[in-house]
Amino acid sequence: MKKAIIIGAGPAGLTAAYQLLKETDIHPIIIEESEFIGGISRTAEYKGNRMDLGGHRFFSKNEQVNDIWKELMPLQGAPAKDDLMLGREKPLAEGGPDPEQTDEVSLIRTRVSRIFFLRKFFDYPISMKPETFINMGFVRTMKAGFGYLYSCVVKRKENSLEDFYINRFGRPLYSMFFEDYTEKLWGVHPSKIAPDWGAQRVKELSLGKVIADFLRHLFNPNYKTDSTSLIEQFMYPKKGPGQLWEKMASEIEKMGGEIYFGQKATAVLTENGQISGITCTRVTNGGSAQEKLTGEQTTYTGDYYFSTMPVKDLVLSMGDTVPAKVHDIAKELPYRDFITVGLLVNKLLIKNLTKMKTVNNIVPDCWIYIQERDVRIGRLQIFNNWSPYMPAHNEDTVWMGLEYFCSEGDDMWNMSSEDFIKFAISELVKIDIVKEEDVLDATHIRVKKAYPAYFGTYKDFDQVESYLSSFDNLFCLGRNGQHRYNNMDHSMLTAMNAARSIISGTGDRESVWSVNTEKEYHEEAKEQKQ
């Protein structure tokens, strides 16, 4: 029986094993550095409160991906707890499970994400509704309007993400809503970042729509902007994204696959243009700031190798057989790390001024992009709105995730948990989101290499890709495996395409590396799917 050695038990690695077991007789062995399933899509738990590290909407334009999600976690056939409390109607799957009776169920949730700027809420993606103009004030509005009109006529050559933003929004809107936040996220100015992913992550404004919507609002205050082009609802496992990946891992083991935890890939062995083995070192607290190698080593050998580990680590673990240029590019590939503070509070200061009904009338947002310049927090998740089963007590507390982008070893990363929690609370107090006396409890989690970055030696990444593709039994998958800002469905698709390549015998790499290279906004949905 042929074997596949898979590095990483995140969405890509798990999907590779799942597909191989369902469609081939290849035996998969997954080696995972940490003690957790799901990679950066795992769900953490603290005193019964569940945390989604980063926020993961289950939405894909690929029906095969959607089918796998529904297969593992069927859509709800009865209302969830908060929908029952509020009398909200949601589309229900005929014969689907009841979330009040079982945990293995996906909920249908409403997409609400906004920008918090000037201590006010703005649409995300930014829109030109009258509310936007009112919140910005007359002077900012006039500057934004003329700046946008100018950008429609005069186009910059797009050498950077800054150029990309200015071409689509104008300089004033770029300065207000993109410049500072982008620097928060990546740690460098947008002028230093490649424009590659902009089209996928940023929805463009249409001048015609802006004018038409404004006039309709002017003459009809009840007019609702056509937003069918954006996803309005998404699937979400009852107890967070990690629940689905834990279910997939369970199915893999039932079908005969193996998963080993605490195994850090420290050496990738090569021979005659192929990968010949993966040497792992036993590790405790794998992937965390407290990670410790024990010295105990195991070498795994197989016929096929799937890597979801960071490209930087993969190349460096290959030793001195790697060409010097490829080695140097990989060594300097940039990443952004991530810190989440789970914060439990009695109530929020920010009010729900929308028409959306929520438990205790909290704001309806799944997450909020914090654009305020006087704080370092990047995003704020409200887990109550992702699923009423994420907080231990949804009825009388608000359970949030405060998200910070950082770099391993910087001042934020090196703060103690106690000091960082105090700092994070002080920031929410500063921007009038909570009162300190309303805080009940908190926890602190670090995540390494959460975001592969598009600057530095990334401009020469094609050389690294070409070198890795030269090994005909190696497939690089997922966000870190391809150094690409993939969503979960993209990571799954890289694995599915790799499995197809093996099944067909073509050895095709192009279909694997081409996932998530289209110039299309990821949150845009085809009308027939709504």
**Residue pair 247/102 in contact by the 8 Å Cβ criterion:** no
- Give the amino acid at 268: V
Sequence-ordered list of residues with C-beta below 8 angstroms from that of 105, at least 6 positions apart, any chain: 73, 74, 75, 76, 96, 97, 98, 99, 237, 238
pLDDT per residue over 281-332, tens digit each?
999 887 777 778 888 999 999 999 999 999 999 999 999 999 999 999 999 9
Report percent pLDDT > 70 for the chain: 91
For residue 278, how many C-alpha atoms fall within 13 Å in the half-sphere facing its CB?
29
The pair of structure tokens assigned to 25 is: 């007789």
Distance from C-alpha of 42 to C-alpha of 45, rounded to nearest angstrom: 10
Is 234 a residue whose pLDDT tops 90?
Answer: yes
Window from 131-145, 147-161, 301-315 with minimum mean pLDDT: 131-145
Sequence-ordered list of residues with C-beta below 8 angstroms from that of 503, at least 6 positions apart, any chain: 23, 24
Distance from C-alpha of 136 to C-alpha of 422, rounded to nearest angstrom: 31
**Residue pair 183/220 in contact by the 8 Å Cβ criterion:** no
Region 42-65: mean pLDDT is 95
Region for residue 285 given its phi and psi (left: phi exceeds 0; alpha: psi -120 to 50; beta: otherwise): left
Predicted model pTM: 0.91
pLDDT of residue 287: 74
**Residue pair 479/13 in contact by the 8 Å Cβ criterion:** no
Region 9-30: mean pLDDT is 98
Is 209 a residue whose pLDDT tops 90?
Answer: no
Number of alpha helices (DSSP H) and beta strands (DSSP E) in the chain: 20, 19
pLDDT per residue over 256-274, tens digit each?
999 999 999 999 999 999 9
pLDDT per residue over 414-465, tens digit each?
999 999 999 999 999 999 999 999 999 999 999 999 999 989 999 999 999 9
* H-state helical runs in 432-477: 461-469
Sequence-ordered list of residues with C-beta below 8 angstroms from that of 71, at least 6 positions apart, any chain: none
pLDDT of residue 124: 84
Region 167-181: mean pLDDT is 90
**Per-residue exposure over 385-418, b if at least 16 CB sit within 10 Å of its own CB, e if not:** bbbbbbbeebeebbbbbbbbbbeeeeebbebeee
Is 519 a residue whose pLDDT tops 70?
Answer: no
pLDDT of residue 530: 33
Report percent pLDDT > 90 for the chain: 78
**Residue pair 291/312 in contact by the 8 Å Cβ criterion:** no
The pair of structure tokens assigned to 497 is: 């395409």
Distance from C-alpha of 444 to C-alpha of 401, rounded to nearest angstrom: 10
* H-state helical runs in 416-477: 417-430, 461-469
pLDDT per residue over 454-512, tens digit each?
899 999 999 999 999 999 999 999 999 999 999 999 999 999 999 999 999 988 899 99
Average pLDDT, the chain: 90
pLDDT of residue 525: 54
Distance from C-alpha of 250 to C-alpha of 241, rounded to nearest angstrom: 15
Residue ranges and CATH numbers for the domains of the chain are 3-35+262-333+454-513 (3.50.50.60), 47-57+86-125+230-239+335-452 (3.90.660.10), 127-226 (no CATH)
pLDDT per residue over 24-51, tens digit each?
999 999 999 999 999 999 999 999 999 9
pLDDT of residue 169: 86
